[in-house]
Amino acid sequence: MKIKIFLITTLFVLSQVLIAQDTEVSNKERIKLQKKAAKDSIRNKKVAEGKFIISPIVAPGYTPELGGLVAFGGLMSFKTNPTDDLIQRSSFPVTLAYTTTGAVVANGILSSYWFEDKLRIYGDFWYKDMPDHYWGIGYQNGYEKPKGEETTSYNRQWWWFNPRFLYQFKKNYFVGLNVDYNYTKGTNPSAGVGEDPNYIKYKDKPLNSGLGLMLRYDSRDIPVDSREGMLVDLVSTFYSTGLGGDNKYQIYSLDYRQFETVNREGMTLAWQLKARIAAGDVPYGEMSQLGTPFDLRGYQWGRFRDESMFFFLAEYRHMFLDKSGEVGKHGAVVWAGSGTIFDFDTLADNTNQWLPNFGVGYRLELQPRMHMRLDYGIGRETSGIYFNFNQAF
C-alpha cells in the first residue's frame, strides 16, 4: 500500500513539474510571438507610411576571385514621396567586404521610383582594390592558361559609377539615358600579364566614359523580386575621349527576363537571356565577362572575357509558408544555365566553348519583397559562395 502511495505521489509531482515546464515554454513562445508581432506591426506601419527603413546584416562568404570574406551591409528602403500611391518603395542595398586575400570591396545598387512612376533612377556603384588574376582575352586563355603568380597575377583597382535615368512615356514602356564612368588600373603585373598585348596597350589608359540610349519594356510586378511580368532592355552606349575618358569603343546589350508564378504565390519560375557586344578599341577591363554574382555564379569574375558574351539562366524560387499558411520570410532557389564568350571573327569555332552553371541558394526576406541572398554556384572545375541583396536578376 505504501509503495502505491509513493508511486502515485511521485507521478503527481513529476506531472506538475512537466506541466510547469510546458507552461513556461508556452509562455516564452507566446512572449516571443508577441514581440515578433509587435516588431512586424511597427515595420508594416513604416512601410505603409513610406518611411525610411534600414536592415543591417553581417555575413560570411567565399568567391573564387576574393577567397573568404566577411561582408557588412544594410538594406535601405524608402518612398520618394510617401503620398504617391503609384510608386513602389525604392531600395538601396550597400555592402562593404574585407577578404582573406586583402581585398576591399564596396558596392551599392540603387532602384528608385519618382513622380507617379514617370521617372525611374537606377544606379550601380562599385569599388575594388584587390590582388587579382588576368588570363587574357578569349575562351582558350581562360580555360587553358594556368593560374599562378608568374602567369596571371596582378593588383587591380577598379571603380564603376553607372546611374541610369528612365522616363515612362507609356504604360510599361521607357526611354532613358545610360551614364557610365569606370576605371581599371593594373599594377605589379606578373610576367604573363605584363606580356599580354591588350594589357600593354591599355595599362596607361584606365578611364572610360560613356553615354548611351536605353529602350525598355518592363511589366514586372516588383523589379527587385519579380514574380510576374517581363523585362526587355536594349542599351547602346558610346565611349569617347570627348567625355573625359581615355578610350573609344561601343557597347550594345540585350537583356530579356520573364517571370511566372506557378501553383501559388511565392513559387516563381524565372528565366533570363542576355547578350553583350563590344566593338572598337575595347580595353581589357571593359571586355564582356562571365562569372559575376549576377549571371553564371561560381566562376571567377574576369577569368572568361572577350568582345562579346551570351548566357541564359532558368531559376526556380520557392518561398516557404509560415505557420499561418501565408508566404513566409524564408526561401530557396535552384538554377541552371550556360554561357559563352566570343568575337565574331572566331564565332564559327565556338561550338565547344560553352560554360555550364548550376547552383542553389537561400533567401531571407528582410523587408517586404526585399531579400538577403546566399548562393552556392558550381561551374566547370570551380565553385563559389555569394552574399548579396535582392535577387540575382
pLDDT number for residue 22: 66
| pLDDT score, position 347 | 73
- What gap in Å lies between CA 302 and CA 10, rounded to an integer? 71
- pLDDT at site 20: 65
Q: Could you give the CA distance from residue 48 to residue 50 in angstroms, rounded to a whole number?
A: 5
Structure confidence at residue 104 (pLDDT)? 97
Q: Facing residues of 277 across strands?
A: 252, 308
The position carrying cell 510576374 is 228
- In 3D, which of 391, 392, 393, 388 has the Cα closest to residue 71? 388
Residue 172: all three cell numbers together: 510599361
Helix (H) or strand (E) holding 260: strand 249-261
Q: Which of 150, 145, 65 is nearest to 382 (CA)?
A: 65
User: Identity (one letter) of the amino acid at 118?
Assistant: K
User: Looking at residue 1, what is its pLDDT?
Assistant: 59
pTM of the model: 0.88
Closest CA to 305 of 281, 287, 331: 287
**pLDDT confidence of residue 366:** 96
Distance (Å, whole) CA 318 – CA 328: 10
Give, for all 393 residues of the chain, the pLDDT tens digit: 555 565 566 656 566 766 666 666 566 666 665 665 565 666 677 887 889 999 999 988 888 899 899 999 999 999 999 999 999 999 999 999 999 999 999 999 999 999 999 999 999 999 999 999 999 999 999 999 999 999 999 999 999 999 999 999 999 999 999 999 999 999 999 999 999 999 999 999 999 999 999 999 999 999 999 999 999 999 999 999 999 999 999 999 999 999 999 999 999 999 999 999 999 999 999 999 999 999 999 999 999 999 999 999 999 999 999 999 999 999 999 999 999 999 988 776 666 799 999 999 999 999 999 999 999 999 999 999 999 999 999
The burial class, CB within 10 Å (0-12 / 13-18 / 19+), for 61 is buried
